[in-house]
Chains A and B, each alone.
Chain A
Amino acid sequence: MILKIDFPVKQKEVTKFHHQIYLDLLRTLPNNVKFSSKYSQGVNQLQEVLQVFCLHNPSIGYCQGMNFIVGISLLFLEPEDAFWCLVVITEKLFLPHYFDSGLVGAQADQQCLKNLIELKLPDLHDHLESLELDLSSITLNWFLAIFIDALPFETMLRIWDCFLLEGSKILFRYSLALLHMHKNTLMENNDTISIFKSLKYSVKFTFDIDGLNKIAFEQLEPFPKRKEIIQKQKNYLRIKLESWKSRRLQKINQDIIEWDSENDEQNFHLKIDCSSFVDGNFVWVCYGGQMEGNVMIGDLEMKKMSVQNIVTESKILSIVAIEEFDLVLMGLLSGNLIGFNSVNKEQLWNLNLKDSILNMLSVKAETNFYRLYCAHSNGKLTYIELDSDKEPSEIFDINVSSSPIEWIELVIDDHEEKYIWLASANTVYVYNERTLLNETKFEVSVNQFDHILMLKHTKNGVLLSIKGSSIIHLYDYNTYKCKLLFDVKLNLRLSIEKDDDFSFSRNRLTCFLSLDNNLIWFGTGDGYLLIYSIEIYEQKKIDKLHKKFSLNTQIFKRIMSRRNFSLATDFNLDYIYHERAKLNVKRRDSSLPDKFLDKNSKKEMKKFKSEFILKDISKHLDVPSENEFKINICNNYDLEYKMDLLTKAKISDQPVRTIMSKKIGDEIAVITCSGNYGEDETVLKWSQKDKNWKNEPFIEMCPITNIPKRPLYAKIEYFQNLKNKKETKKFF
């Protein structure tokens, strides 16, 4: 039975590789008539098979080289069988991890080959060693693309036959045979270039299939047994895998060190970590080092702030206020949870929860009753009941994950049911807020080393982003599907997730906030504040794949601050990519077609050969243009989200740390904190005047003398006023 499956390639697994697949379609068998133009049947089939494979095995996805394997298969097989052929090659014949994101398996096989050369062709091995020459520059391709483009076509097909029959062991045998065959040429040369060059050329002209087979199956005997080779392969794989993993972890750590402390260990103890509104009229902003946490309190109306006499035993990582009890709660790096009275700023109690408290959430259950959740770096969630400002006695631990929980967000669904979403590594865990039962969990990226930065509930869905990235994701809180990917750095809607690019960017998002009126505020690592509007509209059906259209003319509203910040002007990339494609895939139930394992299907080979020769004549008939590709699109999404940039302003040289908002009367006040304590204008209050957002910096006062300390202009102004007053006094 043939199943016909229609599905949108909107799926993340496919869209992620869509672009790379597309780039390689015409670069696979350009000289074959079935693959020469973007309208060719073979090219369409190639695309289908590669995309379906991404769905079938998202952990591998698409790796360059597979295009050649599928291309060759499609010369002999129907697309469906070519798909299964690729499955068998990648999952059965090659080592695991062969094509995945570290190409670890492929690299391990190169080590294995080197070892076999040493064993079977010691003189060649010594010669290469003396030149410090690594043959894998050439031989890697032999393995990754199974000799495509390296050998004459006929010779390559013969190796394919054996490969499909016997597995990857045969590639070692033929590689050694080829090296053996051309050994003299290689030994004659004494520098890297000539060796590479002569190897490439002589292999390319290996028409003597029988001679090659003779070497491979007779002269090289005794060749290591299959078992021995597999053992070797596995050993090298294990070593490679370990070093790859540790390298990758190391790199991530480096990134984090580099960006999280901004190369600035000196200022680590001054970094602003968290902030909260307290009692409607105040903001508490926390900074501090490993062994000390400090608090600054700002008055929202006066726009003045000063450092308090509050010192905690370690860095304050999270802060929550419960106004009903005049209570401020602080979660520390040391794992202590401290309660403060918000009026007299006295410490009420200090509770040790054993592990660092990375984030907190308080939920009002009923009058005089709150539930507090603390997220810990050991992957535990603590649940605490609070009915007064007294030290809590009801404390429960829930094991959530083996990675730190970095964010807790309250999410209320369409039926007013409350959930808490917990972010840990690249996974979101959803718990029912009432029952504390785990509803579900889902990963937001393919890379398990990713960390979610934070989550924000909005009425359109839940916003989240990954640490180090500038891409915002919008998740549906009913279906847990990603509805929108938007790159804030590029001001560009994405339909493709970047292919495992995990480097930190300076323009990464560091915090964000959603306001009621469909505004989203973003803070970035390089100190920019961006305000976007998000809009929902009904999507009309489109039937072109790469449909680009420019956004409505951008309206830039300049905001004035006392400080001369620069307004960015590089917004000339305002186009939106829309990609929708329809795939028709035939699939049958059998797991393995017997056809391609049958090496006697010579008839089909004949048929193909005539086609291959035919092509050379028609080669120049159709010169494809590079970027456009037409594919049918199926559109089953009705709602679309559109994000428009309203404002972009540089507010600091350091990362923006927190953004929060509060309704005061009819007005919304937004507070941003950026950089480190001790810099000018770290805390800004934003309010809306005639649709424009205006900011006013908080002036830091000396807590003892009550004279302005920072910024300098406030201090100067103060003394100027003082002088004027004195002068006027004198005058009278």
Chain B
Amino acid sequence: MAKAYDYLFKLLLIGDSGVGKTCVLFRFAEDQYNATFISTIGIDFKIRTIELDGKKIKLQIWDTAGQERFRTITTAYYRGAMGILLVYDITSEKSFDSIRNWIRNIEEHASADVERMLIGNKCDMNDRRQVSKERGEKLAIEYGMKCMETSAKLNENIENAFFTLARDIKAKTEKRLNQNRPGSNSQNGTGSNTKLKPKDNGGSKSSFFKMCTIL
């Protein structure tokens, strides 16, 4: 049976409670905004298939609870993630300050070369801004990741954020794939048929590539 997609990427949304993770995800997956979601407890997920350079990419995105005591549960999902969106709320200094802690969590629990991206959400509320764009950029540079300000409410930069992250993961994956196969498509059929599928719950903390099985 032909697969409906070429790649499957697992993404993860983390950040303090109330920064808008669920709204961002809902906006991306369903293109809707609802100011009144119920709080996420434990873990939740959404799926959307996108197209990049002619490749179908299925994104499986995990949404997490922000409260500290759920961390033991949510960190179990870091390991399988190929991309992580770190979300803060530009109207909350505290949520920005927590980003360092979240990064520490990533360093502890996620694959070493997981793609990360910093998201400053609620940028529609400029009048209540507490974290300047520059500070977000500075932090992102410090940790070598991209950053973006988004608004789930006004649908600003949401698509852009997920697409950028997916593109980076795709580039990384393809690069690894080529590296791993010197002489490229000589042995294993045609290169264009090569597909990656991350293995469920498997994989290792240390290697990005181990998370993918080559079909």
User: Hey, which bits of chain A sit against chain B, CB under 8 A?
Assistant: 20, 23-24, 26-31, 36, 63-65, 67-68, 100-103, 107, 131-134, 137, 140-141, 144-145, 149, 191-193, 196-197, 244, 489-490, 492, 498-501, 503, 505, 570, 572-573, 623-624, 626-627
- Given A101-B69, A132-B201, A490-B93: A64 touches B41 (CB 8 Å cut-off): yes
Residue-wise, chain B 71-82 has the 8 Å CB interface mask toward A (1 for contact) of: 011000000000
Q: Are A137 and B97 in contact (CB under 8 A)?
A: no
What's the least CB distance linking A635 to chain B, in Å?
24
Q: Which residue, A27, A29, A489, A500, has most C-beta atoms of chain B within 10 A?
A: A27
Contacts of A191 in B (CB 8 A): 200
What's the least CB distance linking A501 to chain B, in Å?
6
Contacts of A196 in B (CB 8 A): 45
Q: Are B201 and A134 in contact (CB under 8 A)?
A: yes
B173 at the A interface (CB under 8 A): no
Q: Would you list 19 pairs from A and B whose C-beta atoms are within 8 A, ordered by A residue?
A: A20-B67, A26-B36, A27-B37, A64-B39, A64-B70, A67-B39, A101-B69, A103-B69, A103-B73, A132-B201, A140-B73, A193-B8, A193-B58, A193-B60, A500-B68, A570-B135, A624-B36, A626-B18, A627-B128
Q: Are B93 and A27 in contact (CB under 8 A)?
A: no
Q: Are B202 and A132 in contact (CB under 8 A)?
A: yes
B181 at the A interface (CB under 8 A): no
Q: What is the bound-complex CA distance between A627 and B18, given in angstroms?
A: 10
Residue-wise, chain B 20-44 has the 8 Å CB interface mask toward A (1 for contact) of: 0000000000000001111111110
What's the least CB distance linking A496 to chain B, in Å?
10
B112 at the A interface (CB under 8 A): no
What's the least CB distance linking A50 to chain B, in Å?
12
- Given A20-B67, A30-B37, A30-B38: A103 touches B72 (CB 8 Å cut-off): yes
B12 at the A interface (CB under 8 A): no
Q: Are A623 and B35 in contact (CB under 8 A)?
A: yes
Q: Please name the residue on chain B nearest to A499 by beta carbon.
A: B68
Q: Are B18 and A503 in contact (CB under 8 A)?
A: no
Q: Are B39 and A193 in contact (CB under 8 A)?
A: no
Contact residue among A24, A107, A197, A500 (Cβ-Cβ distance under 8 Å from B39): A24
Contacts of B55 in A (CB 8 A): none
What's the least CB distance linking A138 to chain B, in Å?
9
What's the least CB distance linking B205 to chain A, in Å?
15
Q: Within residues 130 to 164 of chain B, which ones have a CB less than 8 A from any CB in chain A?
A: 130, 132, 135
Q: Which residue, B39, B65, B73, B128, has most C-beta atoms of chain A within 10 A?
A: B39
Q: Are A30 and B36 in contact (CB under 8 A)?
A: yes
Contacts of A145 in B (CB 8 A): 41
Q: Are B41 and A102 in contact (CB under 8 A)?
A: no
Q: What is the bound-complex CA distance between A572 and B97, given in angstroms?
A: 13
Q: Are B69 and A141 in contact (CB under 8 A)?
A: no
Q: Please name the residue on chain B nearest to A110 by beta carbon.
A: B73
Q: Are A133 and B91 in contact (CB under 8 A)?
A: no
B104 at the A interface (CB under 8 A): yes
Q: Please name the residue on chain B nearest to A26 by beta carbon.
A: B36
Q: Are B201 and A23 in contact (CB under 8 A)?
A: no
Q: What is the bound-complex CA distance between A623 and B60, given in angstroms?
A: 31
Q: Are B39 and A63 in contact (CB under 8 A)?
A: no
Q: Are A133 and B38 in contact (CB under 8 A)?
A: no
Contact residue among A133, A489, A573 (Cβ-Cβ distance under 8 Å from B201): A133
- Given A27-B36, A64-B41, A101-B69: A573 touches B130 (CB 8 Å cut-off): yes
Q: Which residue, A132, A134, A624, A626, has most C-beta atoms of chain B within 10 A?
A: A626
What's the least CB distance linking B149 to chain A, in Å?
17
Contacts of B69 in A (CB 8 A): 63, 100-103, 499-500
What's the least CB distance linking B43 to chain A, in Å?
5
B185 at the A interface (CB under 8 A): no
B17 at the A interface (CB under 8 A): yes
Q: Within residues 86 to 119 of chain B, which ones have a CB less than 8 A from any CB in chain A?
A: 91, 93-94, 97, 100-101, 104
Q: What 5 new A-B contacts, CB under 8 Å, besides A103-B69, A131-B200, A140-B42? A: A26-B36, A30-B37, A193-B60, A573-B130, A626-B18
Q: Are B72 and A23 in contact (CB under 8 A)?
A: no
Contacts of B196 in A (CB 8 A): none
Q: Are A573 and B93 in contact (CB under 8 A)?
A: yes
Q: Are B72 and A27 in contact (CB under 8 A)?
A: no
Q: Are A501 and B91 in contact (CB under 8 A)?
A: no
Contacts of B100 in A (CB 8 A): 505
Contacts of B47 in A (CB 8 A): 193, 197
Contacts of B36 in A (CB 8 A): 26-27, 30-31, 36, 624
Q: Please name the residue on chain B nearest to A102 by beta carbon.
A: B72
Q: Please name the residue on chain A nearest to B73 by beta carbon.
A: A103
Q: Which residue, B18, B67, B69, B72, has most C-beta atoms of chain A within 10 A?
A: B69
Contact residue among B43, B60, B94, B200 (Cβ-Cβ distance under 8 Å from A133): B200
Top 3 A-B pairs ranked by shortest CB distance? A30-B36, A23-B18, A27-B39
Residue-wise, chain B 202-214 has the 8 Å CB interface mask toward A (1 for contact) of: 1000000000000
- Given A23-B18, A132-B201, A149-B38: A137 touches B43 (CB 8 Å cut-off): yes
Contacts of B60 in A (CB 8 A): 192-193
Q: Are B130 and A144 in contact (CB under 8 A)?
A: no
Contacts of B199 in A (CB 8 A): 132
What's the least CB distance linking B87 to chain A, in Å?
14
What's the least CB distance linking A395 to chain B, in Å?
45
Q: What is the bound-complex CA distance between A537 and B97, given in angstroms?
A: 30
Q: Please name the residue on chain B nearest to A23 by beta carbon.
A: B18
Contacts of A23 in B (CB 8 A): 17-18, 39
Contact residue among A20, A570, A573, A624 (Cβ-Cβ distance under 8 Å from B35): A624
Q: Are B68 and A101 in contact (CB under 8 A)?
A: yes
Q: What is the bound-complex CA distance between A63 and B70, given in angstroms?
A: 9
Q: What is the bound-complex CA distance between A67 and B65, given in angstroms?
A: 14
Q: Please name the residue on chain B nearest to A251 by beta carbon.
A: B108
Contacts of A144 in B (CB 8 A): 41-42
Contacts of A244 in B (CB 8 A): 72
Q: Are B201 and A64 in contact (CB under 8 A)?
A: no
Q: Please name the residue on chain A nearest to B76 by beta carbon.
A: A134
What's the least CB distance linking A97 to chain B, in Å?
11
Q: Are A107 and B72 in contact (CB under 8 A)?
A: yes
Q: Are B73 and A107 in contact (CB under 8 A)?
A: yes
Contacts of B73 in A (CB 8 A): 103, 107, 140
Q: What is the bound-complex CA distance between A63 and B69, given in angstroms?
A: 8
Contacts of A24 in B (CB 8 A): 17, 39
What's the least CB distance linking A245 to chain B, in Å?
12
What's the least CB distance linking B101 to chain A, in Å?
6
Contacts of B132 in A (CB 8 A): 572
What's the least CB distance linking B95 to chain A, in Å?
11
Q: Please name the residue on chain A nearest to B93 by beta carbon.
A: A573
Q: What is the bound-complex CA distance between A26 and B17, given in angstroms?
A: 13
Contacts of B101 in A (CB 8 A): 501, 503
Q: Are A65 and B201 in contact (CB under 8 A)?
A: no
